[in-house]
Chain A
């Protein structure tokens, strides 16, 4: 026993090094799985406040760009008004009263990591919960994975763990969208059935199959598609409609019936 203690004291530098590294690795391995990152509440109010200070400054420099985006969005919304578009596609524009929208501001957003996160200035107090969808004016941006009193943190689409259920707009075929590119503009469409013929420019939208996003929200357009002979499921490169590098104002979309939907599904699966 005494020898062991002497040994530990003599080699305390190495022993301490090993202890600290093991601690760090345990923390790191916890943050790897998406499910665990849901339980770990990273959006804490202290770091949130500090980051908001710098966001306040950079706001001024983005005002003109922001105006442009709001104008573009206004124009799109105006196009949807009934008098402009008498034949409304009921699939797309039916007033989905089960979704409620909360506007929020991006306090911090990264695009250059392998796992990117978006910190937002709305939290529990404003009714944000985990697994709320985040929409940019141009399309899907991410999913909330942690909330504190006044802040929330979202997993950006630019995240190795992000996987969004989607469909090809022209023929409603189900696919999935992931991000394994080294740049923030392009994602990957996976699980494309081999009989499908995609062309560059085809639009990919949310499927509405998850309880998080409403259906028909823009994800992006196909950039290139290479059919492979020997595989049944193909991949294509997708240009995100959201410009993650200029993300500033977003909408949080809350499914008010999510709980009910999930419960029903659970019951069906249990049988």
Chain B
């Protein structure tokens, strides 16, 4: 239990630092930024209390907002993503068997399963983020396109990081 908690806290700090120091300075084609820190919420254990997860998502988003000077923007988007998480997991993996502490990562869902799961939630996050940032439906299709591109970029970086995390976990088991 405590080992799991420490692991999540370390992962949280690493992801926030990676986001602020590196990824926020990356911008592909002008407007596309990979927001890989959302991996932290994606990898919270299956059996976590759902309300606790919402609160964690809210404060994680708020911390990003402090760095980006966008108070409320990431918090609102990440809470929406966390809200959708149980439904998305249930939709793709209705009969999955889990132990307490298991995470919805590559080890548990498999490569294809993880990509489906991560991309769906990241797309929800990116659409919310893009539309809330400009707060208009004026350029609807341009904004949708921007969200999809952002979701691809984020999923790509999330996948790389998860491969890194998952490999380390496996090595520890051996």
Contacts and interface: CB of A to CB of B under 8 A. Distances in A.
Contact of B69 (A17, A25, A153): A153
Contacts of A25: 72, 76
Interface string B68-80: 1111110110011
B76 A24 contact: yes
Given A25-B72, A112-B33, A32 B135 contact: yes
A26 B79 CA distance: 14
B20 A21 contact: no
A68 B84 CA distance: 51
B67 A47 contact: yes
A114 B133 contact: yes
B50 A27 contact: no
B24 interface: yes
Interface string B124-145: 0000000011110000000000
Interface in A20-52: 20-21, 23-32, 40, 42, 44, 47, 50-51
Contact of B73 (A20, A28, A112): A28
A113 B134 CA distance: 9
Contact of B70 (A23, A31, A54, A182): A31
B42 interface: no
Interface of B: 20-21, 24, 27, 30-33, 50-51, 54-55, 58, 61, 65-73, 75-76, 79-80, 83, 132-135
Given A42-B71, A113-B70, 6 more contacts: A16-B51, A21-B80, A47-B66, A113-B68, A113-B133, A183-B30
Interface of A: 12-13, 16-17, 20-21, 23-32, 40, 42, 44, 47, 50-51, 53-54, 110-115, 117, 153, 160, 182-184
18 contacts: A13-B51, A16-B51, A16-B54, A20-B54, A20-B75, A24-B76, A28-B71, A28-B73, A28-B132, A32-B135, A51-B20, A51-B67, A111-B27, A112-B27, A112-B31, A113-B70, A117-B69, A184-B30
List the 9 closest A-B pairs by CB distance, nearest first. Answer: A27-B72, A28-B72, A24-B76, A112-B27, A24-B75, A54-B21, A24-B72, A42-B69, A27-B71
